[in-house]
Amino acid sequence: MTTFDNNKMIPFLVIIGGSILLLISFGLRHSFGLYLLPITDHLGTGRELFAFASALNVLMIGIGSPLFGAFSDKYGSGKASILGIILVILSLFWMAYVNSPFGIIFSQTLFGLGSAGCGTAVVLGAVGRSVKASNRTLSLGIVMAAGSFGQFLMVPFISFLIELVGWSQSLIYLSFIASIMIFFSFFINYSRKSESSKLGTKQSLVEAIKEAFKSKSFNLLSLGFFVCGFHVTFVAVHLPAFVKDQNLPFWVGGWALAFIGIFNIVGTIYFGYLGDRMSKKNLLALLYSLRGLLFLIFIFLPKTELIVLLFACILGILWLSTVPLTSGIITVIFGPYYMSMLYGRAFFVHQIGSFLGSWLGGRLFDTYGSYNLMWWICVALGIIAAILHMPIKEIEVDRLTESKVKI
């Protein structure tokens, strides 16, 4: 047995590999808002077209997540991620030479599908299968924090790159950066050798899907995740343009997204730590409530460089802190064996919210000339999501309890 086959090394390898994958993939995904204005100007279209393309992008991540998740659960996380990375590279090349509405729509659609293969469903499933239950939520938070760090590193870098070489050439460079992920895909494939996920594995994939669909707690959790997707994608896609509309410098939008990323490192690790010690559903209700309150305050504040950056810092703490808690609840209820697929199903609902957040933001802007209504919608959805989490029960299904008794 080699050192890499040692079960004690598996969690470490999987966390390292998963962290690098999310660092790069999140950095790429959250930089797309920087391309809204230059590509819109290049094509001579309104913002709704790019917003719709971005909406299809995130929707395809949602559609692809349970599919890649099921593939990952059966054949290995590494194989799933390599396939996704290849699609991401092809899409970036395509987008770099886009000259029509068709091109921007389909290149972003392909990017979304590829991102599902090297994104949270596959990576979090690999991590969840590889670590002990007592440290699972914190481990998921660490990996998500790496993704946020990628957002912090890459968004201002890509903003600088666009100004230096132009939007088209910058996408070519990004395709080479994306290829780095292929090497780290082999790390997360070691999750297949972990012994921590064997409990309750006699269940078939179809049985697992039916079990989840019948669970009230799982469905409420998914609906709350819809709101998360709506919030983060609206902000990620439209905040740079919103900042520009306030007559603020272009750099403010890029740095705002970067600050969201760096402060989300604090949020995901801290709430991941709390999630192993407190009620995850109550923490989620708190997070969504605080988001709604933050959006409400931001509506009435003057939009200066300082206010926008402070808003971004606070939002960053609340940004993707929902992910380790949501995936942690799924694993508590159903066990880790089909975690990639089940999280992928919840993430599909998240991405429906992302689709609407991206598209509706562009639609309402083109209709009314401002984002005011979207900010109010974000406030209302934050309150609704907090209420939805209250009835959730963090209790494992009878199948897992019976398996423990037999053991």
Is pLDDT above 50 for 3?
Answer: no
Cβ proximity of 20 and 78 under 8 Å:
no
Q: Coil, helix or strand for 70?
A: helix
Is pLDDT above 80 for 314?
Answer: yes
What pLDDT shows up at residue 406?
A: 53
Is pLDDT above 50 for 407?
Answer: no
Average pLDDT (269-288) is 92
Cβ proximity of 341 and 202 under 8 Å:
no
Is pLDDT above 70 for 40?
Answer: yes
CA distance 200 to 198: 6
Query: Which spans in 3-135 are helix H?
Result: 10-29, 36-43, 47-75, 77-96, 101-117, 120-130
CA distance 233 to 284: 18
What pLDDT shows up at residue 124?
A: 85
Q: What is the pLDDT of residues 338-368, one digit of tens each?
A: 777 888 889 889 989 988 998 899 889 989 9
Report in angstroms the alpha-carbon separations of 282 from 17, 55, 140, 161. Answer: 31, 30, 18, 41
Q: What is the pLDDT of residues 148-204, one digit of tens each?
A: 788 778 888 898 899 899 999 999 999 999 999 999 998 888 765 554 555 555 677
What pLDDT shows up at residue 1?
A: 36
What pLDDT shows up at residue 164?
A: 92
Task: Give domain 8-191+205-400's CATH number out of 2.60.40.10, 1.10.3720.10, 1.20.1250.20, 1.10.10.60.
Answer: 1.20.1250.20
Please give the radius of gyration of the chain, using alpha carbons only, rounded to the nearest integer: 20
Q: Which of 58, 270, 30 is nearest to 153 (CA)?
A: 30
What's the distance, CA 192 to chain centroid? 23
Q: Coil, helix or strand for 163?
A: helix
**Hey, what are 272's tokens?**
């991941």
Tell me the pLDDT of the chain averaged across its residues.
87
Report in angstroms the alpha-carbon separations of 243 from 95, 268, 307, 379. Answer: 24, 26, 11, 19
Cβ within 8 Å of residue 310, ≥6 positions away: none
**Domain locations in the chain as residue ranges:** 8-191+205-400
158: number of Cβ within 10 Å: 26
What pLDDT shows up at residue 405?
A: 46
- Percent over 90 (pLDDT), the chain: 43
In this structure, what DSSP letter does residue 3 have?
A: G
Cβ proximity of 371 and 266 under 8 Å:
no
